[in-house]
Amino acid sequence: MTSDLPLAKHRIGLDRTRQVAPQIVEYLREKILELELAPGTPLSRVELQNQFGLSQTPVRDALMRLEEEGLVTVYPQYATLVSKIDINLARQTHFMRRAIEQEIVHELATKSDRRFVDRLTVANATLKALVSSDEYGDFLRHDRAFHQILYEEAGLQDIWPVVRRHSGHIDRLRRLNLPNVGKARVVDNHDAIIDGLAKGDAAGAEEAMKVHLSGTLSMVASIVEKYPDFVQYD
C-alpha cells in the first residue's frame, strides 16, 4: 500500500466507444478499494487528464461521482484527496448488507431449483485458486463477483449497484483486514453458505452469511490501531 499517486508513469487506455467518465470512475474506484490509492492520497486533475488523455470535464465528473460514493473528498480550489475510511459509514453499510444478503440466502434456500449452487461453486473455485497468491486485488474482485451472483439469482440485480456505491468504506476495511483473516477463511465462509443453500437449510445459510459479513467489523479496534491515519469516526 502506498500514499503516492501511481498514475503518472504511463498513459491509461480507455474504450472510446463507451462513455469515458464511468471508465475513469471504475479505474480509480478499484485503485482506491485496493488501497493502491491510500486514504489521504492527493489526486491531481491535471495529472489525471494527462494520463487519460482527456479534457477536464470527464475527469471532473468522475471525481464528483467518487465524492458521492464517499471515496474522495474535494476541497474546491485546493485539492482532491482520497477520503479516509469512515468507520461509522462502514458500520451502516454492514448493517444494510447483512439484512439484505441474509434475506437473499434465506429465499434462495427455499427454492426447489438450485442450479445457482453450481454457479456459486464455480465462483468460489476461482477464489480458491487465488488463496496462495500474494495479490489481493483479484481476490477481492472475485469475492464481490460471488456476492453479485447471489443478488442476480434472487432477482435483485438492480439493487447490487446501489449496494456497491455504498460499500467503499467497508470494502477498504476488508482489504486492510484480509491479510489478518486470511483468504482461506473467506473461501471457507463461502463454502458454508453454499452448503446451506445446497441443503435447503435457510437458517444455516443465514448464519453462515452473518458470520461471513461480520468478520471485519469484529476486528475494527485492531485495524484502527494498526492504520490510525487511514480511518476516521464521524
Indicate whether this model's pTM tops 0.85.
yes
CA 38 to chain centre: 14
Q: How confident is the model at residue 4 (pLDDT cuts 50, 70, 90)?
A: very low
**Tens of pLDDT, residues 210-219:** 999 988 888 8
CA–CA distances in Å: residue 220 to residues 42, 57, 232: 25, 38, 12
Q: Are 19 and 54 in contact (CB under 8 A)?
A: no
Residue 18: the pLDDT is: 73
Q: Which of 17-31, 104-118, 181-195 has the lowest mean pLDDT?
A: 17-31
pLDDT tens profile 54-107: 888 999 999 999 999 999 999 887 889 999 999 999 999 999 999 999 999 999
| Mean pLDDT in residue range 2-25 | 65
State which H helix or E strand residue 81 sits in: strand 79-82
Residues 123-131, mean pLDDT to the nearest whole number:
96
Confidence (pLDDT) at 72: 96
Mean pLDDT lowest among 17-31, 103-117, 119-133, 201-215: 17-31
> What residue spans define the domains of the chain?
20-83, 86-232
Can you give the pLDDT at residue 17? Answer: 66
Fold of 20-83: Arc Repressor Mutant, subunit A (1.10.10)
Strand 79-82 and strand 72-75: the pairing is antiparallel
Structure confidence by residue, pLDDT tens digits, 22-38: 899 999 999 999 999 99
pLDDT digits (tens, 9 = 90+) for 39-69: 999 999 899 988 888 888 999 999 999 999 9
Contacts of residue 42, defined as CB under 8 A and 6 or more positions apart, other chains included, come to: 5, 79, 80, 81
Is there a contact between 75 and 81 (Cβ–Cβ < 8 Å)? yes
- Model confidence at 8, pLDDT cuts 50, 70, 90, reads very low
Number of H helices, E strands in the chain: 11, 4
**Per residue in 153-187, pLDDT tens?**
999 999 999 999 999 999 999 999 999 889 999 99
What kind of architecture, by CATH, is found in domain 86-232?
A: Up-down Bundle (1.20)
Q: Quick check: helix, strand or coil at residue 86?
A: strand
Identify the band that residue 21 occupies on the pLDDT scale cut at 50, 70 and 90: confident
